[in-house]
Amino acid sequence: MKYTSPLSSLCKASIENDFHLIVDCKFKRVAWMRALRELELLNRFPTLMQVWQFLLLSEKNALKRRQFHTLAIPIGVILAAIWKYHWQCVIEGNPWSLEACLSTVRSQRFDLGLNFHDFDCLV
């Protein structure tokens, strides 16, 4: 696949950099915030920059906290769903589907037997 533009391959509105690719694309922004809300993690990650810092392991003292491994699971579930739909859009030419992305998050949540309601105490 040849890219002739520095613009995002998905939204075509912003320059594609790492932050935009993973969390800041207008489609992914909504997916992150809705998934975080559904998993009751908005108190812990009220901004996408905090999600980004967590993903980069650059959040202050993130690796020292016992909660890191617990939070890595739901953040990984969200990232995997967003990544899956990103490539379905880019490679297969499918339109972005927020509901399909969130459905994948919900499915993984239950398939893994995760109870994310306990994460409120990790603020």
pTM reported for the whole predicted model:
0.83
The per-residue pLDDT string of the chain (123 residues; one tens digit each, 9 = 90 and over) reads: 555 678 888 888 888 899 999 999 999 999 999 999 998 899 889 999 999 999 998 766 555 566 777 788 899 999 999 999 999 998 999 999 999 999 999 998 877 766 655 544 444
Residues 6 or more apart whose CB falls under 8 angstroms from that of 16 comprise 6, 7, 8, 9
- Between CA 59 and CA 118 the distance in angstroms is 21
Domain ranges of the chain: 18-122
Say how many C-beta atoms besides its own lie within 10 A of residue 43's C-beta: 12
pLDDT on residue 123: 43
CB 37 within 8 A of CB 94: no
